[in-house]
């Protein structure tokens, strides 16, 4: 399903394929030979999404563009089922495995791999060709890659990466009630969405 959001609608190369059960919302550009499979969601909230040549977005993956942090996916990239790519830059020939999570401001360099359930935290840069192992966490610039049981070390780096400011545009002292009120207002813009006539 193609959806107009904030007055913008998807642009899809004629040689690309978008499954009928995928949802593509707003300022999303899909290049030649790309494949967007069933249940995938590509949504340009108020930041663009671009999908490169011959890139495959598997079932139930999410690719989200954000204000100031577009989702820029290169060519010949695999985004696995249930992966979450949010305001991230993914360079060419990257493998993003099932369940991986890439957070706003992150960059995954050309030829890198983020394996099953790997995490790339906000404002983290994974070098070209680097590997984030199964379930591990990449954090910082340049990335330090740690197993999840080393939470204190991960947090020591992550604390300085400004997750609330990067993701929500607020300070750490923002109350959850106020944060969710703002998020509710923000996502309320979807009430004005409209399907794009595909005929």
pTM value is 0.93
Query: What tens digit of pLDDT does each residue of 21-50 get?
Result: 999 999 999 999 999 999 999 999 889 999
The CATH number fitting domain 2-195, selected from 1.10.8.10, 2.160.10.10, 3.90.1720.10, 3.30.565.10: 2.160.10.10
Q: Is the distance from CB of 17 to CB of 40 less than 8 angstroms?
A: no
Measured distance CA(35)–CA(141) in Å, rounded = 31
CB-based contacts of 180, cutoff 8 Å, min separation 6: none
Measured distance CA(83)–CA(61) in Å, rounded = 5
Query: What tens digit of pLDDT does each residue of 114-141 get?
Result: 999 999 999 999 999 999 999 999 999 9
What's the mean pLDDT in 140-168?
93
Using the structure block, give the residue that is written with the tokens 């030649």. 32
Q: What's the DSSP call for residue 150? A: -
What was the pLDDT predicted at 169?
Answer: 87
Measured distance CA(52)–CA(29) in Å, rounded = 8
Domain ranges of the chain: 2-195
What was the pLDDT predicted at 9?
Answer: 95
């Amino acid at each position: 399903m193609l959806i107009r959001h904030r007055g913008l609608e998807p642009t899809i190369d004629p040689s690309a394929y978008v499954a009928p059960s995928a949802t593509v919302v707003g300022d999303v550009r899909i290049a030649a030979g790309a494949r967007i499979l069933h249940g995938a969601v590509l949504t340009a909230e108020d930041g663009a999404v671009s999908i490169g040549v011959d890139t495959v977005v598997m079932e139930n993956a999410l690719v989200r563009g954000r204000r100031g942090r577009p989702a820029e996916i290169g060519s010949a990239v695999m985004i696995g089922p249930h992966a979450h790519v949010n305001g991230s830059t993914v360079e060419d020939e990257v493998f993003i495995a099932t369940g991986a999570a890439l957070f706003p401001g992150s960059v995954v360099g050309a030829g890198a791999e983020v394996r099953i359930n790997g995490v790339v935290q906000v404002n983290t840069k994974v070098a070209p060709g680097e590997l984030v192992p199964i379930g591990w966490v990449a954090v910082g610039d340049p990335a330090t890659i740690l197993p999840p049981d080393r939470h204190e070390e991960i947090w020591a780096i992550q604390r300085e990466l400004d997750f609330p400011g990067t993701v929500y545009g607020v300070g750490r002292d923002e109350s959850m009630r106020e944060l969710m009120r703002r998020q509710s207002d923000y996502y309320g813009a979807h009430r004005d969405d409209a399907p794009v006539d595909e005929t």
